[in-house]
Structure 1
């Protein structure tokens, strides 16, 4: 294991070689930041409207750090839903992170459990997509991953703070297009993944299955089930997709 792949105590000088890798991760996070700033701002406004104070709004972004989960949580809270139901719903929505973690294992298995725990706490749809795309043709390094994760997380917390400060002054976020920030960011990440026919087929299958499952089985399971089914079919169809 290289020195830059270690989790270093605070009193240990960070090797110079770490800086370029971390800066590379910071740069890779910039497209995510552009999406997180308006989205996090909208979350902050909605959280204040739902009855959260400023510090509760920011603390949720620090600890939970799950855009879709946070939007669902504040919406349910504002509707008077019981805490147990909110927690269970957010848990179901975030189950997809199990798939993300499993996909990263082949690239990160050589690192210490403490480092992996820190990385796991910072996984989001967007940072996962950027990382897995980077690791398809680069060796995994902790400084890169921490640079990516911390930059994205900081921007989300900052945007949540700014949105929380704006409070009820903004009114309906949809008037400013904030309701489209999340879909737009996912579209960008999807385009970055479409490198060959196989990924195009898997993406199309995932979209199809997600819509069908959502119509037949309302809830948050459509994303998880569609991902598993599409990925499985992608592996099965790989010999054929490679011929076209």
Structure 2
């Protein structure tokens, strides 16, 4: 007879508790947001425009891509369509969190969904495990995370030409490092075998499609296939 699986207790349903849960995200966002601010400033954005982009768009990878395409002189429709493809994964992230948000009013969920990123999804998913929780905790997590992203990106823009060499500072690897830090804890513990296989499948597909020149679609395809494989072998 197998031992019952014990889930960690739910965090307090308060805004401060959500803010505390955001600390690992904040620590990751500071160097990445700073790197984006430097890149955007170099691409010709003002400090105010960098802040508005982090407030209204709030999608790290899409912001990097958008700034780089803007600097390269890409047409506006091309920038919009590319960032749209990159952000399609948010449909999957939102769907996965729905069981925890289902008891909230639609208007509340619409506001909470604005703060869903890869990082806030990872924290929500690991703590909630599909169990319902009040909106205050999620709001604390999301607001604190985005505030740190806005502050870091504006700080990078203010630094301007002082820190133009991102590779020398290791800022170009900050985003990858944070994703690795979020992934590794999920590859340990009970039932980790299926998660490890899913992660491996996602990595192989993403790398393969990147080599084929389809990195945007690679994220989406890798997510769908890896999630399907994980469910099948779980």
The question of a shared fold, defined as TM-score above 0.5 by the shorter chain, is answered with: yes
Residue matched to 1:112 = 105
Deviation, 1:20, is: 6.2
- Indicate the RMSD between aligned Cα atoms, in angstroms: 1.7
Deviation, 1:137, is: 7.4
- Give me the TM-score of the superposition, normalised by structure 2: 0.89
Residue matched to 1:134 = 127
Residue matched to 1:143 = 136
Give the 3 Å change call, closer, same or farther, for CA 99–19 of structure 1 in structure 2.
closer
Say if 2:167 is the partner of 1:174: yes
- Give me the TM-score of the superposition, normalised by structure 1: 0.86
Residue matched to 1:30 = 23
Q: Distance in 2 between matches of 1:67 and 1:113?
A: 26
Residue matched to 1:219 = 215
Residue matched to 1:84 = 77
Deviation, 1:208, is: 1.6
Q: Distance in 2 between matches of 1:73 and 1:204?
A: 29
SS at match of 2:185: helix
Deviation, 1:138, is: 5.3
Q: Distance in 1 between matches of 2:131 and 2:185?
A: 16
Q: Distance in 2 between matches of 1:103 and 1:20?
A: 20
Residue matched to 2:229 = 233
Residue matched to 1:65 = 58
Deviation, 1:28, is: 1.2
Q: Which runs of 5+ in 1 are unaligned?
A: 1-17, 239-244
SS at match of 1:81: coil
Residue matched to 1:99 = 92
Deviation, 1:54, is: 1.2
Residue matched to 2:186 = 193
Q: Distance in 1 between matches of 2:213 and 2:154?
A: 36
Residue matched to 1:206 = 202
Say if 2:50 is the partner of 1:54: no
Residue matched to 1:124 = 117
Q: Deviation above 4 Å: which 4+ runs of structure 1? A: none
Residue matched to 2:3 = none
Provide Cα deviations, 1:207-240, integer angstroms capped at 9, x if missing partner: 12222233345230111111111111111112xx
Provide Cα deviations, 1:137-191, integer angstroms capped at 9, x if missing partner: 7542211111110110000000011111111122212211111110110011101
Q: Which moved more, 1:136-145 or 1:48-57?
A: 136-145
Q: Distance in 2 between matches of 1:147 and 1:138?
A: 18
Deviation, 1:24, is: 1.7
